[in-house]
Structure 1
Amino acid sequence: MKKILLIGCIIFFVLCAPKKTTVETEGLEEVIVFGEEEGYVIEEPVYPEEEVTEPEEIAVVPPPIEEEPMPVIEEPVSVIEEPSVPPPVEEAPPPVIEEPYVPPAPPPALTPSPLRVFGFRIQIFASSTEKNANRVASDASSVLTERVYVDYVAPYYKVRVGDCLTYEDAETLKNRMLRQGYHGAFIVETMVTP
């Protein structure tokens, strides 16, 4: 059944395809027309190309305009005497004193922000409220010599201690936190300020 349908489609497309018609026009060029029957083809003659020359330009000059002479009006000339002023005396320009070149002062040195590198801190507490986290952080900073940080990592405020560059240093600090009563203290890898 599929083969019959396929053959039918092919025959349909072949019969419906536009017909190709070739028309010779005076032997100069060949024109191919698709989809039209030969009886309906209109032949247009193709003429050989002629050399086209541009027409000559003729300069058009307007005739000269005749002008009448202007009447001369004589006015009495009055002489006004101006007081004589001596010509201005040129003054010598003041001497130019060149100041020695002083390079501009360098801009003030910017204090670099603290260097932050990957390291480890010990997390001792986490709370959903900033108030509780700040309370635990202030208690810890009064007991510990290390710096105490409160970081917000959604959805918790986390209290973290220390700036350890190596995992071994962080392990030592974690054991000390456990001995001081911060049960559940653990090591966190984060950016630290050495």
Structure 2
Amino acid sequence: MSMKKHLTWILLLFIFSITFSQTFPPQDETFNPSTLNEPSLPLLDGTVVQEIISDIAAPVTSNRVMGDSMTTIEKTGWKVQAFITNDFDRADSVFRKLITNFPPEDVEKAFYSPYYKIRIGNCQTREEAERMLRRVENLGFREAWIIQTKIKSKERIISY
């Protein structure tokens, strides 16, 4: 045989021996989950079941509205990002200026390292956000733009 064939066989033998000579350490299988001291789940100790049963036992029988209330939920919507900077003082001054022109609950100052972002609005639709963008641009924020993000929306909850 030629030298090339000998080297090929030696190389294959070497790779084969390395591959099958490795052993794995034995795994520790002594863990027993029944020996853990975990607090019981409310569903398993009966408290949640008792609450559910008590709600079923006393249903509301009238057809009239018991009451309604407003609640704030978080959902996907639109905002106008008016300003972005890594300087806290500039962000704060822009934030204060915008609070005087928009409802305070609609103006937010968010910090996403390393930037402070001033965002306005909790718009349900893109058209609403475009109207808001024009108002912001009229205040001198020519580089403002619309973003899609989580918004806080007030919803009426009616309970029967």
Structure with greater helix share of residues:
2
Higher relative contact order (CA 8 A, sep 6+): 2
Structure index of larger Rg: 1
